[in-house]
Amino acid sequence: MTFEQQWLEYDYNPFILFSSSGKVLSLNSEAQFLLSATTNQEIFELATAYANVTYGFKTTFIELEFGIYKFFGLTIGYENEEEIGIKLYQAPSFKVNNPRPDGQLTNIYTLIDLCISTNSISSKINFTKNFDPTIPSIIINSNNIIKLLNKIYSCFMDNTEIDTKVFIRVGEHIKFEGKKYSIFSIQISADTIDSAKVNELRYLTENSNFYIDIQKNITVNIPMIFS
């Protein structure tokens, strides 16, 4: 591998080279992580949609999101009809300069049940649960995650039912201090969401180590650190 190729390989931004039929010809390390959160076809369609009408390169600033990965732009380039390349410019979804989160070895299900119990007091809301039982105890700051989960539940308290789902994000990882960790998610959802409470939640998470994805539901993505 030449020095130039190494620069591309270890670039923080994903790069993929496709054939004209959408087959992946080459990709760098970050692109391998990206393709765990989406499909080859989806990225290929993105490349063809934003390509220049004639041979050459075109950069477009656009907000894109695939799982935990967020991007603010992309460059598409092709010099013939056989190959097309795409590079996506990544906005940090985790605070990449932060050290590895610390805390105590904790059973995450116990913390979730505690939060559900707290929010069930004097409430007629039906709290449903769908837990992947295979997640072991992890290193996490219990006080911070309890505070966060309670704030998330407060966004849904006008509903008759709130669902909590815990699952592993298969193939997705995050790096802290050069080491790669798997990720699991806590997803909380209901029919309606309180936008004012959501703004409070955004403020709470600005300086935290938690990555929050707010859509119609709210998902907390957490690294699986065991020791």
Give me the pLDDT at residue 205, please.
Answer: 79
Distance CA 179, CA 57 (A): 35
61: number of CA atoms within 13 Å, CB side?
Answer: 0
Q: Are 84 and 47 in contact (CB under 8 A)?
A: yes
Q: Which residues pair with 27 in a beta bridge?
A: 16
When pLDDT is averaged across residues 47-59 and rounded to a whole number, the result is 95
Res 37 pLDDT > 90: no
* Domains annotated on the chain, with CATH: 3-91 (3.30.450.20), 104-223 (3.30.565.10)
- The predicted model scores a pTM of 0.65
Dihedrals phi, psi of 62, to nearest 5 degrees: -155, 145
**188/221: higher pLDDT:** 188
Res 1 pLDDT > 80: no
Distance CA 178, CA 180 (A): 7
Query: pLDDT confidence of 99, banded at 50, 70, 90?
Result: low
